[in-house]
């Protein structure tokens, strides 16, 4: 126990914050993406420490398994990932600082406001089964809406990636043959 925090919490919190800082400060974009992954992993560890297995593993599955890969692919496909050519700090760093601290203050305020008057003594036991049960009963409508939104996004992505029409394709092929 150091300052009322357990050693495990301090370690994971340091890891998470260090990853986030590195993601913001490193020059090479791929390094930034990889340090962001460290932050995702640290967040998952924090969830696991709170006894939220499902949230922790979902965090790893979704953020490290999918979002980090997406970020990395986006970097590689849009610009050359070889030479570090970006400045660490933008010229408008002052406004950025103001906005960031305002957002941080707002979040802190809302988190502090939402705390219950007396801290819960016993941690609620949430099993994966109970999460599934409530997703399928109480929260079935939000779940379905999210599913529809994701399906629309998927179809949209396919349409964006599809060739415009069938006819110009043969033209492109013939020009390629020249």
Partner 1 sequence: MSLANQLDQIFVFLQHWIEGFFPQWLQPGVGALIAVIGIVATFPAIFAVTTVLERKGLGRIQNRLGPNRVGPLGILQPVADGIKSLTKEDIVPRSADGVVHFLAPVVLVVAIFLGYAVLPVGRNMVLMNMDAGLLFFFAIGASTELSIFMAGWSSRNKYSLLGALRAVAQMISYEVPLLLSSVVAVMMTGSLSTVKIVEAQGGFTGIFPHWYVFTPWGFAGFILFVIAALAETNRSPFDLPEGESELVAGYFTEYSGFKFALFFLGEYLGMLSIAGFAITLFLGGWGAPFSFLGFMPSWAWFFLKLFAAIFFFIWLRGTLPRLRQDQLMNFAWKFMLPMTLLNLLVAGAWRFLGDGWSRWVICSLVLLFAYVLLGRVLMRHQHLGPRSYRYAE
Residue ranges in contact with partner 1 by CB under 8 A: 28, 30-31, 34, 37, 41, 53-54, 57-58, 60-61, 64-66, 68-69, 72-73, 76, 81-82, 127-129, 173, 176-177
Q: If residue 121 lies in a helix (H) or strand (E), which one and from where to where?
A: none
Residue 65 beta carbon to partner 1: minimum distance, rounded to whole angstroms: 3
Please state at what angle helix 128-136 crosses helix 140-161, rounded to 10 degrees.
80
The C-alpha atoms of residue 75 and residue 83 are separated, in whole angstroms, by 12
Considering the complex, state which of residue 163 and residue 176 has its C-beta at the smaller distance from partner 1.
Answer: 176
Considering the complex, state which of residue 77 and residue 120 has its C-beta at the smaller distance from partner 1.
Answer: 77
Residue 4 beta carbon to partner 1: minimum distance, rounded to whole angstroms: 23
User: What would the two tokens of residue 147 be?
Assistant: 């599913």
Residue 144 beta carbon to partner 1: minimum distance, rounded to whole angstroms: 16
Q: What is the CA radius of gyration of the chain?
A: 23
Helix (H, G, I), strand (E, B) or coil at 95: helix
Considering the complex, state which of residue 15 and residue 72 has its C-beta at the smaller distance from partner 1.
Answer: 72
Q: Are 90 and 63 in contact (CB under 8 A)?
A: no
Considering the complex, state which of residue 1 and residue 111 has its C-beta at the smaller distance from partner 1.
Answer: 1
The C-alpha atoms of residue 45 and residue 53 are separated, in whole angstroms, by 9
Residue 157 beta carbon to partner 1: minimum distance, rounded to whole angstroms: 12
């Amino acid at each position: 126990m150091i300052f009322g925090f357990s050693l495990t919490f301090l370690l994971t919190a340091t890891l998470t914050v260090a990853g986030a800082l590195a993601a913001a400060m490193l020059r090479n974009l791929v390094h930034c993406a990889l340090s962001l992954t460290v932050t995702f992993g640290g967040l998952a560890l924090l969830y696991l420490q709170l006894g939220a297995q499902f949230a922790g593993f979902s965090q790893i599955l979704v953020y490290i398994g999918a979002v980090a890969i997406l970020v990395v692919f986006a970097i590689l496909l849009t610009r050359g990932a070889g030479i570090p050519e970006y400045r660490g700090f933008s010229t408008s760093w002052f406004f950025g600082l103001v906005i960031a601290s305002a957002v941080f203050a707002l979040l802190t305020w809302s988190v502090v406001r939402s705390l219950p008057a007396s801290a819960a003594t016993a941690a609620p036991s949430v099993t994966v089964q109970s999460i599934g049960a409530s997703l399928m009963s109480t929260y079935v409508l939000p779940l379905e809406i999210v599913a529809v939104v994701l399906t629309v996004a998927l179809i949209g992505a396919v349409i964006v990636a599809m060739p415009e029409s069938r006819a110009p394709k043969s033209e492109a092929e013939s020009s390629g043959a020249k």
